[in-house]
Structure 1
C-alpha cells in the first residue's frame, strides 16, 4: 500500500463515492428496490430453476411470491448439488466459479454459489461503501499505508475443491484481479496476506503486530470482535518478545530498529508490562466489528483493551449475502442494504423455535416494517438463493431516510429452552459476570451448556484459575444460579417448580477456550469465522472438552 499515492487516493475516492451512492439510496430506495428484483429475475429466468417456477411470466413482487416458495437451505441444496455436478444454468444464467462455505456454527456447513455478476454488482460496491464510512470517521483525507489493520479477510489460494470447484470461506477468499471487485491497496502487503506456514491464530496475529509496529495505525477492522480481543491478548503476552524482535530485525525482513524498540519498551514499561493496543498505536481511533447480539457482550473488553477508542459495526453480513450496511455513527445497527438483495420479513415471536418457515408464509416488504418490532428474514440474492429462509432475526430500531435501520438479534430459536425458560447467551453472560466480574480474564472464558436429564440442568464451564481458586465451587454455582433466576423469570419459575435442576459449574483448565479455537483453526476454519458462544446449543460441547483433556480435576469445594 505504501509508495503509490495515486493508487491509494483513487481507492479512497472510490470508497467515498460508494458511500455517497449508498446514502442516496437510503433517501430514495424505491427505484433501487425495483432494479434489484428485476436483476434477480433477469439472471434466473433462463435457468432450470426459472423454467420450473415459470419465472418468464413474473414481473412484480406479488408474482414473485406466488411463483417461488420460501425454502430453507436444505430445500435449496438439491439445486446447489446440480451446480456442483457440472450442470449449467441451474440457478443463475451466470454459472458459479466457486462456492463459499459457511462456518457451520449453527449446524452443517452450507455451500453458497458465487458468480462473477454477484461479486461485481453486489459485494464489491457494498464493501467500498462500508469502508468509505470508516475512512470518513477517522477523518482520512489521504492514505499513506500506515492507517489500516484489516482483520476481516485472510486471503489465500483455495485449499479445497469439490467436483473441480474451489471451495473457501468468505473471509479466506483469494485476491481477485477483477477491477469491479473489492481490491484494497493493502491486498499484497506482507502483514495482510496469510502466511501458509502459520500454524496458529496467535502466530498469525503476532506476525501482524511485528510488521505493523512502526505504523501510525488508526483503524482496526474485524468481523468478529473476538479477533480484536485475541490480537490484544497476543500483544499483552508477547510485549517483551516484540521489543526484542524489532530491535534485532527478526521476522520483519528488514534491519533492526533499536530506536522504535526503545520507544515501545518505555511505553510498555509505563503500562506495567501489559501493553494495550493504544500503547503500541497511540493514534488508534476506531475499532470496527460486529456489535449486536452476542457480539455486543465483547464491548467491555474492547473498551479496556483500547480505552477511548470509538467502535462502529461491521456490515451485517453472512456467507449468503449482505443485509445491512453502516452509514453513520450508530454503534450497532445499520440500514437495510436494499441494493444487495430482495428482502422480505415475517413477524417473529419469541416462541419461534427456529423451525423452517412455511413455504407460503405471508411476508412484508422493507416499507411495511414497524419500529420496535422483530422479524425473521427471507432473502433473495442474485447468487441463486431465492426466497431463502435465512433463520436470522432483526429488530427495527429506527430508520435512515426511507429505509429501516435493523439490528441483528440472533438466530430464530437461539434460546435454550428445555421447559420454556428461553435462556439466552445474554442471560448466562450477565449472571456469570455479576458474580465473577470480568476483570480476571482478558478473553471469553466461560460458556453455558444445556444438559438433558430428568430433570435437565445447565452447566457453566469456566476456566478455573487464580483468583477463582479461592472460591468455593458449589457456593459460586449457587450464586450464579440465583442471579440467573433474577435475570430470567421463566428460568426462576422452572427452578422453583423443580422442572430444572440447580446450575452446576464445570471447572476447565486455563486457556481452554483458546485451545478449542486453535483446534478449529488447524482444522481449516477461517480465523474470522471462529466465534465464542456464551451458551452452547447442546451438550456435544462437553465431548470436545473431555476429548481435549480440558476439564480440571475438581478444585477445593467441588
Structure 2
C-alpha cells in the first residue's frame, strides 16, 4: 500500500465523522445555514429589497421572498454581470457558470468565494466516503480522468466565466495533479468529437483507475477506446476500479457499460449543478444520495403536483415524506434566493436525508393529463431491459397527438438499441405495464381508450449524438431530455433516422 493510499484511508475516516455529525442533526444544521445566509446578505440590494433585516424566522422569509426561476431573477443577475457589486451577495462573484438557457439564451449563474469551495469539497467527500465504507483506496495511485468542458475561461467586467466543469478543473488539488488526465491542452479542445479522440490517444496506454463523467459521454469515450484498441475497457484498464457519474440516471446505461467494460465496476453517483453541489452517494448499499445540508444551501420543497398553483406550500425538511415528487427550491451563499432549479427529487430516506433526482418539472408528458415523469419512464425501461436482456445506448419519449388515420394517440419511445430484444412487442408491453402500475393517470387513459399502448421507434446508431450535435449540445454537461411534452426532439429524430 502506497503512502498516498494509506493517508487517504485516515483522512476518509475523519471526513466521514464530520459528515455524520451534521447529518444526524439536520434541522439545526439547516437553521444555522438559513440564519447565516440572511445575516450575510442583509445589506445587499436583494436583501434590502426584500427586507432581510426584519426576517427572524423561515416563515418570514417565505412571506417576503417568492419562488423565482432564472428569468425572474435575471434583472438582478444582469446588474451583476454589468459589474455592479453587492447585488445578490456581498461583493462580486468569483465566477459565472455559463449554461444554456431554453428561453433566455445564455444563463450566468454566480459562484462566490463562499460557495465555490463546497463544489470541490463535496466531490472530494464523495470519494472519501467510498474509501471509508469499503476500505478500497488503491485507485488513488492510478490515473484519473474527468470528462468535462474546456477549462478556458472568458471574462465579463472583471469576473471570469465558463462551464462549471471547466471552472472546477482549475481546483484539482495538487496531490492529484500527476494522476489527472487528460492533459490541459487536450482538455481545452472545443470540438467534443475531436476532444474524445485526443483523450483516447492520451489514455489508451495509461493505468486508468478512476473514470468520471456524464454516462452518455463516457459511453462515447468507451466505444472509441474499443474501436481503437480492439479491447474491452476493463481489459485495457485492468485497474479501472471506480466509475463516478452524475447528471442522469445510470441504470438505463448499466448493462451497456458492463458490456463495454467487460465486468462490473463500483460506482458513485453525484448531484452537481452550476447552482450548487446538492448531494452525493455516501453508501454503496443505500438507495439515494446524501443531501448536503451543511454546504451553504438552504432547501425548501414544493409538491410537484401543486407547483403551478398560485401559492404552493413551501415545505421544510421536517415536513417532507418519502416517495413524493418534490420541486427543490434553494437559497444559497452564491446569491440565489428561493430559486427554482427546475429539478424534481424524491426522498428515499429521512434519517439521514437521501434523495434521487426524479426529473425536471418542465420535462414531462401530460399531453392527455397523464403527468408522466422522468423517473417513471426510466424505471419502466429498466424493467424491460432486465426482463429481456436487451441493451440500449439512449432513449427519449414524446407524445403522438395526431396519429395517422383513425388510430388513438400514444406515447412514442425513440430507442437506440445496442442489442435488440427478441420480441419488440413484448419489450413494449413490459414498459407499458410498468408505466400503468406506476402512474394511475396513464392507467386510466389506457383503460378508457383515450390512449393506445406506447410504440417503439428504432433510431439508427448515434442518432441521439447527431441530434445533440445539431443543436450545439454535444458533450460536456449537456444531457438529452428523457421526455418532452411536444414533438420538437421527436421530429428532429424522424429526420435524422
TM range (shorter): 0.7 to 0.9
Aligned CA distance change for structure 1 residues 76 and 16 (closer, same or farther; 3 Å): farther
SS in structure 2 of the partner of residue 116 of structure 1: coil
Question: Does 2:117 align with 1:170?
Answer: no
CA contact (8 A) 2:182 2:203 kept: yes
Partner of 1:443: 393
1:218 aligns with 2:169: no
| Partner residue in 2 for 1:554 | none
Distance of 1:119 and 1:23 partners within structure 2: 22
Find 2:476's aligned residue among 528, 538, 558: 528
Contact 2:149 2:163 survives alignment (8 Å): no
Partner of 1:131: 127
Deviation at 1:303, TM superposition (A): 3.0
Q: 2 CA distance for matches of 1:33 and 1:185?
A: 32
| Deviation at residue 432 of structure 1 after TM alignment | 10
The CA deviation at 1:175 is 4.2
Answer whether contact 1:313 1:332 (CA < 8 A) is retained: no
TM-score (norm 1): 0.74
- Aligned partner of residue 110 in structure 1, secondary structure: strand
2 CA distance for matches of 1:118 and 1:91? 13
Please say if 1:415 is aligned against 2:364.
yes
Q: How does 1:221-232 map to 2 (within 5 A)?
A: 221-222=212-213, 224-232=214-222
Partners of 1:156 and 1:466 lie apart in 2 by 36
CA distance in 1, matches of 2:419, 2:273: 38
Superposition RMSD in Å: 3.9
Match runs of 1:187-266 below 5 Å: 187=177, 189=180, 191-193=182-184, 195=186, 198=189, 200-222=191-213, 224-239=214-229
In structure 2, runs of 5+ residues without a counterpart are none
Task: State the partner residue of 1:76.
Answer: 73
- The answer to which of 20-29 and 500-509 deviates more is 500-509
Q: For 1:11-41, what per-residue CA distance to the aligned partner results, in whole angstroms no more than 9, with x for missing partners?
A: 8866664444222221234553333223312
Counterparts of 1:355-504 in structure 2, within 5 Å, are 355=308, 358=310, 361-400=312-351, 403-412=352-361, 414-425=363-374, 430=380, 434=384, 443-444=393-394, 446-453=395-402, 456-463=409-416, 482-489=429-436, 490-491=441-442, 493-495=444-446, 497-500=448-451
- 2:439 is aligned with 1:510: no
Deviation at 1:519, TM superposition (A): 4.3
Moved more, 86-95 or 213-222: 213-222
Return the alpha-carbon distance in structure 2 between the equivalents of residues 437 and 517 of structure 1: 30
Cα separation, partners in 2 of 1:424 and 1:380, compared to 1, 3 Å: closer
Aligned to 2:92: 95
2-structure distance, mates of 1:510, 1:213: 24
Aligned CA distance change for structure 1 residues 494 and 481 (closer, same or farther; 3 Å)? farther
Would the alpha carbon gap of residues 417 and 108 (structure 1) be closer, same or farther in structure 2, given more than 3 Å must change? Answer: farther
Deviations 1:47-99 (A, max 9, x none): 11111111123233333333322222222111111211222211111311321
Corresponding residue number in structure 1 for 2:488? 540
Q: Does 1:277 align with 2:233?
A: yes
- Counterpart CA distance in 1 for 2:320 and 2:144 is 37
Q: Give yes or no for contact 1:233–1:442 (8 Å, CA) kept in 2.
A: no
CA contact (8 A) 1:156 1:194 kept: no
Counterpart secondary structure, 2:167:
coil
Structure with the higher strand share, 1 or 2: 2
Partner of 1:27: 24
State the TM-score, normalizing by the size of structure 2.
0.82
Contact 2:291 2:355 in 1 (8 A): yes
Change over 3 Å in CA distance of 1:42–1:12 after alignment to 2 = farther
Matches within 5 A, 1:140-159: 145-151=141-147, 153-158=148-153
Unaligned runs of 5+ in 1: 240-272, 552-558
Superposed CA deviations along residues 257-291 of structure 1, whole A, max 9, x for unmatched, are xxxxxxxxxxxxxxxx4x32211122222222239
Does the aligned pair in 2 maintain the 1:72–1:388 contact within 8 Å? Answer: yes
Distance (whole Å) between structure 2 residues aligned to residue 464 and residue 325 of structure 1: 30
Alpha-carbon offset, residue 191 of structure 1: 1.6
Asked whether the 8 Å contact 1:341–1:379 carries over to 2, the reply is no
Q: Secondary structure at the match of 1:171?
A: helix
1:183-235 Cα offsets, whole Å, 9 max, x none, are: 3544475525352674653443343343334444332222x222332222122
Shift of the 370–508 alpha-carbon distance from structure 1 to 2, 3 Å rule, reads: closer
CA 1:440–1:312 in 2, change beyond 3 Å: closer, same or farther?
closer
Distance 1:536 1:361, change over 3 A: closer
